[in-house]
Structure 1
C-alpha cells in the first residue's frame, strides 16, 4: 500500500505536529506533502525517514516568516500535488491539506483539527484583530474569505472519510461541510509524566500568548486574589501586554523547555485553562501529571475533563467566574483531600494515550484495506 500524508504546513512543533508524528509512526512508508517546510533539521525525529514534498509557496519571497499571507494561494498549491499511484491519502488538516486531488481509486481519510475558523465562524473576530473591519482592504479580505469558504466546502466533498479530533469539531464539520465524522482523540504522551510528586501552593497556566487563549482573563482573576500565586509559561505576540497586566503574585516565565513545563505540571496544585479549544492537549497533559484542571467548560475541555472529578468546569469566560471557580476548588480540597486526586486525574488522562490513537487509526484503515 502506497501512502501519502498531507499536512498544511511544517513551521513549528505544536499539537497538530504531535498527531502527525504518530500518523507517521503508523505508516513508516508514507511520503509527506506540505505547502511549506521550515522546520529545523531533526526538530521532529519522526520526519527524518520520510520523503517531504513542498509546494511552490516554499520558494515565494518571505515565505519563511510570512507564509500565512500566502493563504489565498494555498488551495491552488495543494491541488498541484501529484498523488497519482497512492492508495491511501491521509490529510492532517486545519486549513487546506484536505483539498488535495487524488486518484479516483484512492481512499482519502482526513484527520480534521477544525474547519478553517477564520473563514467561517471567526471571520469577524479575524477582521477585527487584523484592523480590517472597514475600508477597501476590509472588503477585499471579506471577498477572499468568501471565496475561501466556497473552496473549503467544495474540497471537503473530495474526502472519503472524516475523522474529528473531538465531538465539538465533529459538530463543526457537520455544520460547515455537511459531512459526518468519526471521533478519534489526538494522541497524548501520558507516560512522560510522573503524577505522584508532592503538590505546591501555586497555580499554573501555559499557552502561546495570543488573544483567544485568554491569558489576560487568567491574570486579571489572580490580580483579584493577591494571596494566591500564579505562574504563566509561554511566549507570543501578547507577552509584553500581559507582563504589564500582571500583579506581584503573578510570575511570567516566558518560553520554557518541555522539561521545565513538565516539572511545573507535576508540582502545581491545579492547571488553569480558560480558552475555548477544539481539543486542548495541555489540559490532558496536566491530568497525566496528576494536576486537576480548572477551566472554561466549553469545547474540547468539556470532553477531556470530568467535572468535579478530574477538574472543575467554569461556566462563563470571565475573570469573576474564574475567581469563583478557584474559591470553589479550594473549598472542595479543604473539605476532602481525596477530591481531584492525582490518581483519578491520571486515570482520566489515560483515555487519550498514543496507543489508543494508533489502534483507532489502524482499525479504520483496515476497513478500507483489509489485506
Structure 2
C-alpha cells in the first residue's frame, strides 16, 4: 500500500508540525507533500529527515519568508500535486492541505487543526489586526477570502473522514463543511516535562507575541497587581506593546526568546501558568500541567477540554470568562483563594490524557478501521464474506479509537 502525507507548508517546527512528526512516526514509509518546504536541518530531523515534494510556489520569489502573500495561489498549487498513485492519503490541514485531488478508489483522511481561520469566523478579526478593514487593499483581501471560503467548502467533498483536534474544532468543521468529525487530540510530549511538586512564588506565561495571544493584556493585569510577580518568555510583533505595558511594572520580567530548557525550568517552578488566547487546542497549557503546574486560562477554545476547572472533582486550574484585564485579575484572586485544591499530581495525570503514545495508537486504529471498511465496500458483492447481519461502520469515536474520558 502506498501512503501520502500532505501538510500545508513547512517553514518552522510548531504545533502542526508536531502532529506531522507523529504521523510520520506511525507511517515512516509514507511520502511527504507540501506547498513549500524550507525547514532547517534541525527541524527536519524531527520529521525523520523527510523532504517534502513541493509545488511551484517553492520556486517563487521570497517564498521562504513571504509565503503568506501567495495564499491566493495555494488552492491551485495544492491541486497540482499528483497523488493518483497512492492508496491512502492523510492530510494535516489548517489551510489548504485537505484540498488535494483524489479518486474514488483512494481513502483520504484529513486531520484538521482548523478550517482556514482567517477565511471563516475569524475573518473580521484577521482583517482588523492586519489593518485591512477599509480601503482598496481591504476590498481585495475580502474578495480573496471569499474565494478561499468557496474553495475550502467545495474541497471538503474530497475528504472521506475528518478528524478534529478538539471538539471546538469539530464544531467549526460542522459549521463550515456540514460534515461530522471524530476528535483525536494532538500529541503532547508529556515525557519531556517532569512532575515538580515544589513551586516558587511567581506566575509564568510563554508564547509567540502575536495579537490573538493577548500577551500585553496579561502584562497589564500584573502591572495592576504589584504584589504578584510574572515572568514572560516569548518574542514577536507584539513585543513592543508588551514592553510598553511592563514599563512601570517592576514585578514583570520580560525574558524575550529563550531556549526550550529555560522555558521548561520556568514552567516547572511557576505557581501557575497564565494563558489568554482562544486556541484550537493549545499545547502550552497541557505542557504546564505535565510539570504539575496549574493553569489560569481564558475559557474558550480547546483549553476548556484540556484544563479541569474548579467545578471538577480533581481541578487543574481556573477558567475565566472574558478576554479582559479585569476578568484575568479576578481569576488570579480566585486561584490564590482556591489554589490548595489543585494538586501537582492531578495536573500531571490530566496531561497524560494527551500523550504522544495515545495519539499514535488512536490514529493508527482509526485509519486501519477505515481502510478495512473501504476494502470491504469495494469488493464485488458475489465475493464478499457472508454475514448473518449487516455490519455498520460507526461514526462514534468509541467504536474506532480508545475512548477519551471527557473533562
The Cα shift of 1:44 comes to 3.3
The Cα shift of 1:46 comes to 3.9
Equivalent-residue separation in structure 2 for 1:274 and 1:51 (angstroms): 35
The Cα shift of 1:241 comes to 1.8
Residue number among 273, 276, 279 corresponding to 2:275 in the alignment = 273
Q: What secondary structure, in the 3-state scheme, does the structure 1 residue paired with 2:142 have?
A: helix
Map 1:223-242; keep pairs closer than 5 Å: 223-242=223-242
Q: Partner residue of 2:114?
A: 114
Q: Partner residue of 2:147?
A: 147
Q: Does 1:128 pair with 2:134?
A: no
The runs of at least 4 consecutive aligned structure 1 residues that moved more than 4 Å come to none
Equivalent-residue separation in structure 2 for 1:64 and 1:189 (angstroms): 28
Per-residue CA shift, 1:253-288, capped at 9, x if unaligned?
111111111111110000000111110000000000
Q: What secondary structure, in the 3-state scheme, does the structure 1 residue paired with 2:53 have?
A: strand
Equivalent-residue separation in structure 2 for 1:196 and 1:138 (angstroms): 49
Q: Partner residue of 2:395?
A: none
Task: Kindly indicate whether the alpha-carbon contact (under 8 Å) linking 1:29 and 1:50 is maintained by their aligned counterparts in 2.
Answer: no
The Cα shift of 1:26 comes to 0.4
Q: Partner residue of 1:160?
A: 160
Task: Kindly indicate whether the alpha-carbon contact (under 8 Å) linking 2:273 and 2:296 is maintained by their aligned counterparts in 1.
Answer: yes
Q: Partner residue of 1:194?
A: 194
The Cα shift of 1:140 comes to 1.4
Q: Does 1:342 pair with 2:344?
A: yes
Q: Partner residue of 1:319?
A: 325
Number of corresponding residues: 367
Equivalent-residue separation in structure 2 for 1:163 and 1:39 (angstroms): 26
The Cα shift of 1:340 comes to 1.1
Per-residue CA shift, 1:162-193, capped at 9, x if unaligned?
00000000000000111100000000111111
The Cα shift of 1:141 comes to 1.3
Q: Partner residue of 1:359?
A: 361
The Cα shift of 1:49 comes to 4.3
Equivalent-residue separation in structure 2 for 1:359 and 1:79 (angstroms): 30
Map 1:244-323; keep pairs closer than 5 Å: 244-246=244-246, 247-308=249-310, 309-323=315-329
Q: Partner residue of 2:65?
A: 65
Q: What secondary structure, in the 3-state scheme, does the structure 1 residue paired with 2:218 have?
A: helix
Map 1:37-116; keep pairs closer than 5 Å: 37-116=37-116
Unmatched 5+ stretches in structure 2: 376-407
Task: Kindly indicate whether the alpha-carbon contact (under 8 Å) linking 1:173 and 1:181 is maintained by their aligned counterparts in 2.
Answer: yes
Q: Does 1:35 pair with 2:41?
A: no
Q: What secondary structure, in the 3-state scheme, does the structure 2 residue paired with 1:42 have?
A: helix
Q: Out of 193-202 and 309-318, give the one that drifted further.
A: 193-202
Q: Partner residue of 2:10?
A: 10
Unmatched 5+ stretches in structure 1: none
Equivalent-residue separation in structure 1 for 2:159 and 2:371 (angstroms): 16
Equivalent-residue separation in structure 2 for 1:10 and 1:256 (angstroms): 22
Task: Kindly indicate whether the alpha-carbon contact (under 8 Å) linking 1:92 and 1:110 is maintained by their aligned counterparts in 2.
Answer: yes
Task: Kindly indicate whether the alpha-carbon contact (under 8 Å) linking 2:34 and 2:54 is maintained by their aligned counterparts in 1.
Answer: yes
Q: Out of 238-247 and 200-209, give the one that drifted further.
A: 238-247
The Cα shift of 1:13 comes to 1.1
Equivalent-residue separation in structure 2 for 1:326 and 1:48 (angstroms): 42
- Calculate the TM-score normalised by the size of structure 1: 0.97
Per-residue CA shift, 1:62-120, capped at 9, x if unaligned?
11110011000000000000101101100000000000001321100000000111111
* Backbone CA RMSD of aligned residues: 1.2
Task: Kindly indicate whether the alpha-carbon contact (under 8 Å) linking 2:44 and 2:50 is maintained by their aligned counterparts in 1.
Answer: no
Q: What secondary structure, in the 3-state scheme, does the structure 1 residue paired with 2:64 have?
A: helix
Q: What secondary structure, in the 3-state scheme, does the structure 2 residue paired with 1:157 have?
A: helix
The Cα shift of 1:320 comes to 0.7
The Cα shift of 1:197 comes to 4.7
Per-residue CA shift, 1:342-361, capped at 9, x if unaligned?
10000000100111101110
The Cα shift of 1:61 comes to 0.5
